[in-house]
């Protein structure tokens, strides 16, 4: 299971708009939906990666960016197909997002994922982040 940023946030228990507004996603957050079972039924949930309301708990040390393999899996074939459908070519879609083919190829071969890049691509492609990445 992926670790959500919320587990390290002072606001997590009652001071967050997510919990105050009946589980409405926080405006401006970067999150991947991942429903969790509650009493045998799926409950809407998210793995939060970035959040404008985040206030670190005392002792929280943020992970260094791009330095470790992640528990996020990218559906590269699906991504290429989505780019080709919306832009006629994935290279053109990457250019619109300001992402080089080389950067994506290095991430793909090295198993590293920079989620900021996929947030940009999701914006350009007008899709959700979870259309491209899956938590494993």
Q: What is the pLDDT along the chain (136 residues), one digit of tens a residue?
A: 457 888 888 887 778 888 788 778 889 988 888 887 888 888 888 888 889 998 887 766 666 554 444 566 777 788 888 888 888 877 788 888 877 767 777 776 666 667 777 778 888 888 887 777 766 5
85-115, pLDDT tens digit by residue? 888 877 788 888 877 767 777 776 666 667 7
Do 122 and 129 meet the contact criterion of CB atoms below 8 Å apart? yes
Residue that has been written with the tokens 């080389």 in this structure: 102
Domain boundaries, the chain: 5-50, 72-135
Beta bridge partners of 16: none
CATH topology for 72-135 is: 434 Repressor (Amino-terminal Domain) (1.10.260)
**CA 38-19-136 angle, 5° bins:** 50
**CA 109-114-92 angle, 5° bins:** 75
């Amino acid at each position: 299971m992926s670790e959500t940023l919320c587990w390290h946030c002072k606001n997590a228990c009652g001071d967050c708009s997510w919990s105050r507004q009946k589980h409405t996603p926080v405006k401006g957050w970067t999150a991947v939906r991942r429903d969790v079972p509650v009493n045998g039924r799926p409950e809407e949930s998210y793995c939060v990666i970035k959040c404008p309301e985040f206030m670190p708990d005392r002792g929280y040390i943020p992970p260094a960016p791009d330095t470790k393999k992640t528990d996020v899996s990218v559906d590269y074939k699906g991504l290429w197909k989505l780019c080709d459908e919306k832009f006629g070519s994935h290279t053109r879609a990457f250019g619109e997002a300001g992402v080089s083919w080389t950067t994506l190829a290095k991430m793909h071969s090295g198993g590293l994922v920079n989620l900021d890049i996929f947030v940009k691509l999701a914006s350009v492609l007008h899709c959700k982040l979870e259309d491209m990445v899956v938590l494993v």
